[in-house]
A and B are shown apart, each in its own frame.
Chain A
C-alpha cells in the first residue's frame, strides 16, 4: 500500500476539503490505475485517549473498510481543529489500485454541537454516511443526524440495557440502525430458523414452551434482542423480565397456545462477546440446544422419549473485528426484523 499525506494545525474544514481534493489529484497523477473506493462515508467520533484502540479495530475490518473515513478525535477543552489526511492506494483484485481516504480531525467538545458543519464538506456526496460513536458523544451524533443515513451502535456498550435499547429505538426515527449486539445474534438466528425450516419441524414453532439464552456477562443486549426476535417473528406478547436471582433474568411471553417462559443466563465465556448458547423446549417434551463449540455450534436435540442426538453445525467464529466489518457491510443492507425485535426487547427490559 502507498500513501499521500497532508496535515495542518489550527485548520478549517474548507482547507481540509481542498487538501483532500489535491491529494486525490496527486494520486491520479502518480498512478493511472487509481480508482477511489466509492461505497460509503464512515464518520467516527471518539475520545482522544482511546483513539488508537478504535483505529486498531478499524484496521482489522479488512475489506469491509469504507471509502472515506472521517475520524473525529475529541479532546475536552481543545479550541482549535488539527487535521491529518491521507489517500492510500492498495492493489485490488484486477489491474487497478483501490483508494482509501482517511481524515483525522482533532477537535474539542465545543465543536460537537455543530459537528455537522465541520464534517459536511468532508463527505463524498451521494454516498451513504454511517456514523459511529463508540464512546457515547450523544451531542455529536445528534448534530450529525441531518447527514447520516445509518448509525452504528453497540447496545452492549451502554451501562444500562433499557437506556441502550431506548436510544436505538429513538435513533431509528431518523436513520437506519445497525446494532452490533444484534449482529452477534445473527448466526444463532440463522441456525434456529434452519432448525425449524423442514416443514415437519416447522409446526413445532407453535409448540415452543421455553427459551433459554446463555450469554457472556457483557452481552445481555444480544440475548434480549434474540428473545425479542423470536417474540416478534412468532407473534408472542412478551412481558417484563425479572431478576431471577444470581445471574439470571426470567419472564414470560404470551403465545397463541399459552405461555412461553424466557430465561437469560450469564455464563463464563472466554473469547468474543455475544451469545454462548440457546435452548428451546417444546411443550410436548422435545428440545433443541445450541452451544458454542470447536469448529461451530454444538447442537443437541432431545426427542420426547428422551433420546438424544448430538452434532456440530459447522462455522468459523468471525471474532470482534469480523463483527465490526459486518456492521459496516450491513450499513448498505436493510434488515426489516430488527425494529420489531427491538420493540419486543424493550418490552422485556421495561
Chain B
C-alpha cells in the first residue's frame, strides 16, 4: 500500500502544518468510524444527523467511512435505508440529496453479537478492506452507543481481535454515558477499559460538555476580568445549580427506573457544571491542564457520611398532577415502572468544596422530572453589601446581586443590580441586566454531538471526561446511593407540575430556591 503522495523528502521530524493557520475548520485525520449499537435510538436521533451535518459543512475527514455494528442481521442497503430516514427526520438542516447520497455510500453494516469473537474478525476484515480502498491505514474510532453492560465485553473482544491498536493509525474509543452505575462498577469498567486501551485513546462522552453554553461558562469566567475578584468565598453566599424538566420519563422507564435522577443527571452533567464553575484557571486549554483543574474540584468535595446524606440530600418521586391543566400520572403509574419502585425522579443535594477559594460556600444542586418548568441554569448568589446606606421604605430594598448563567432553554447571562427607583426619594430595587446569546451571535450553534464527534476524531480530549474524573464523580455519588438504598433519608413525593418536594425547601433553608 503506497502513501498517496510519495515524496523524496528525508525521513525527518515533521513540523506543524503551515497551511492550517487561520482556518476555522481544522483538518480531521482520515477515519473509519464504527458505531456499536448503530440501530439504537441515540445513533438514529443524534449520531447520524450529526455526521450528516458535518458532511454538509465539509467537516468530515476527506476519507471517511462508517460501519454500523449491532446485533441485528441486516444488509448494507437495509442499514443505509434506515440511516437515511433517521437523517431526514432528525437533521437540523434539510439534507442536500447529493451529500446525503455520498455519505450513505460510505456506510457499511456488520452484524456483531457483542460477545461473538468471530464477528469482530469479520469487522476487522471490513476495516482492512476500507484501508485498502483508501490506499492508507485509516484511523479507527469505535463509538460505544450500546447499553452500558456491553461496554466491557466490546472492549475485551476488540482486544482479542487485535482491533484495539494499529501500528500505523490512531485507534480511539468513544464511550457513552453512564460510565458505570456506581463506584464499584465504574472502577471495574475502568479496569477493563485500561487493560485494552491507553487513556489517550479513550473518550468518555458527556454531551453536556459539547453544548456551547456550557463551554461559555469557561469563557465567561476566564475571558472577563471583572468576575474573578468576586469569584470566591469572600463574596459568594451560595450557588444553586438546577436542571429541571417539565416532562415525565416518556418511554424510557426501562433505563430510568434502574438509573434515577442522581445517576441520570447529577453524577455527570451537574457535577461537570460544578467543576467548570469552581475550577482554578488552567495554565492552558490543553485537555489535561483543564481536566487536572476539574479533578481538583471533585477531590475537594468530601464524600458524605451516612448522617450527612440524611441531612444534605433529598430524594422524591412525582405523583399525579395536572400541570397546565393536563392530567398526568404519577411515576408509579407510568408504563413499565414497577409498583414498588423506589427510584427517585427528583434529587437535591447540598455539597461543599473544601478548598481555599470555596470553603464554607454551599452548592445546592437539584434536578427532577415533571417539575413546573424546563430550565437548566447556574445561579450565583453574592453576599449583601456590608453597609446599607439606603432605607428600604416603600421598596423591596437593596438585594444581593444574583448572577444567572442560563444553559437552556434561554442561553444567556443575567445579573441583578440595585437601582434607584425614579422619584424624589432614594429608594432601591433590583433590576436585571440581561444578555442573550441569540441576539449577539449570527451563527447557529452546532449540535453538541457534531462538535464532540469531530473532537474525538481529532484526538482533542478537552471536552471528554478523564478516568480519574469519572472515578472522582462516582466517589461523591456512591455514598449517597448507598445511604438511599438503606432508606436514608426516606423518599418523599411531589405533585407533577410543582417546583419539587417540601423537603428540598428545608434543605436550602434559611435560603430559598430560585423560582423555576
User: Interface on A for B, CB 8 Å cutoff?
Assistant: 35-39, 63-66, 92-96, 98, 186-187, 189-207, 230, 233-234, 282-288, 294-296, 299, 301, 303-305, 307, 309, 311-316, 328-329, 332-333, 335-338
Interface residue from A95, A193, A200 paired with B27 (Cβ < 8 Å): A193
Whole-angstrom distance between the Cβ of B468 and the nearest chain A Cβ: 30
* Residues 70 to 110 of chain B near chain A (Cβ within 8 Å): 96, 98-99, 101-103
Interface residue from B64, B103, B135 paired with A301 (Cβ < 8 Å): B135
Query: B1-37 interface mask toward A, CB cutoff 8 Å, 1 = contact, 0 = none?
Result: 0111111110010110111111111011110000000
Is there contact, CB below 8 Å, between B19 and A196? yes
Is there contact, CB below 8 Å, between B5 and A94? no
Known interface pairs A282-B7, A299-B62; A197-B442 also in contact (CB < 8 Å): no
**A-B interface, 7 closest residue pairs, ranked by CB to CB distance from nearest:** A315-B58, A295-B98, A337-B22, A194-B27, A193-B19, A197-B27, A203-B9
Asked if B440 is an interface residue, CB under 8 A from chain A, the answer is yes
Is there contact, CB below 8 Å, between A194 and B62? yes
Asked if B63 is an interface residue, CB under 8 A from chain A, the answer is yes
Is there contact, CB below 8 Å, between B55 and A95? no
Interface residue from B14, B15, B24, B28 paired with A194 (Cβ < 8 Å): B28
How far, in angstroms, from A336 to B24 measured CA to CA in the complex? 11
Whole-angstrom distance between the Cβ of B435 and the nearest chain A Cβ: 9
Interface residue from A98, A207, A309, A313 paired with B438 (Cβ < 8 Å): A98
- By a CB distance below 8 angstroms, the chain B residues around A288 are 4-5
Is there contact, CB below 8 Å, between B442 and A64? yes
Is there contact, CB below 8 Å, between A37 and B439? yes
Is there contact, CB below 8 Å, between A63 and B444? yes
Known interface pairs A94-B438, A303-B2, A336-B21; A314-B103 also in contact (CB < 8 Å): yes
Q: A205-B17, A284-B8, A288-B5 are in contact. List 14 more A-B contacts (CB 8 A).
A: A38-B439, A65-B442, A66-B442, A190-B27, A196-B5, A207-B9, A230-B19, A294-B98, A295-B98, A295-B101, A313-B62, A316-B58, A316-B96, A328-B442
Known interface pairs A189-B19, A295-B96, A336-B22; A307-B2 also in contact (CB < 8 Å): yes
Asked if B325 is an interface residue, CB under 8 A from chain A, the answer is no
User: Interface on B for A, CB 8 Å cutoff?
Assistant: 2-9, 12, 14-15, 17-25, 27-30, 55-58, 60-64, 96, 98-99, 101-103, 134-136, 409-411, 436, 438-444
How far, in angstroms, from A111 to B301 measured CA to CA in the complex? 67
Interface residue from B5, B28, B98 paired with A204 (Cβ < 8 Å): B5
How far, in angstroms, from A346 to B21 measured CA to CA in the complex? 21
Is there contact, CB below 8 Å, between B17 and A193? yes
**Chain B interface secondary structure, helix, strand, loop or mixed?**
loop
- By a CB distance below 8 angstroms, the chain A residues around B136 are 198
- By a CB distance below 8 angstroms, the chain A residues around B103 are 314
B410 to A, closest residue via Cβ: A94
Known interface pairs A37-B439, A65-B442; A316-B99 also in contact (CB < 8 Å): yes
Interface residue from A199, A296, A336 paired with B102 (Cβ < 8 Å): A296
Known interface pairs A194-B62, A313-B62, A316-B99; A39-B17 also in contact (CB < 8 Å): no
- By a CB distance below 8 angstroms, the chain A residues around B442 are 39, 63-66, 328-329, 332
Is there contact, CB below 8 Å, between B62 and A195? yes
Known interface pairs A193-B20, A199-B14; A286-B58 also in contact (CB < 8 Å): no
A-B contact pairs, 20 of them (CB 8 A): A35-B436, A39-B442, A63-B443, A93-B438, A94-B411, A94-B436, A194-B61, A197-B17, A200-B14, A207-B7, A207-B8, A233-B21, A294-B98, A295-B98, A295-B102, A301-B4, A303-B2, A312-B102, A315-B99, A316-B96
Among A191, A197, A207, A284, chain B packs the most CB atoms within 10 A around the CB of A197
How far, in angstroms, from A246 to B134 measured CA to CA in the complex? 37
How far, in angstroms, from A61 to B8 measured CA to CA in the complex? 47
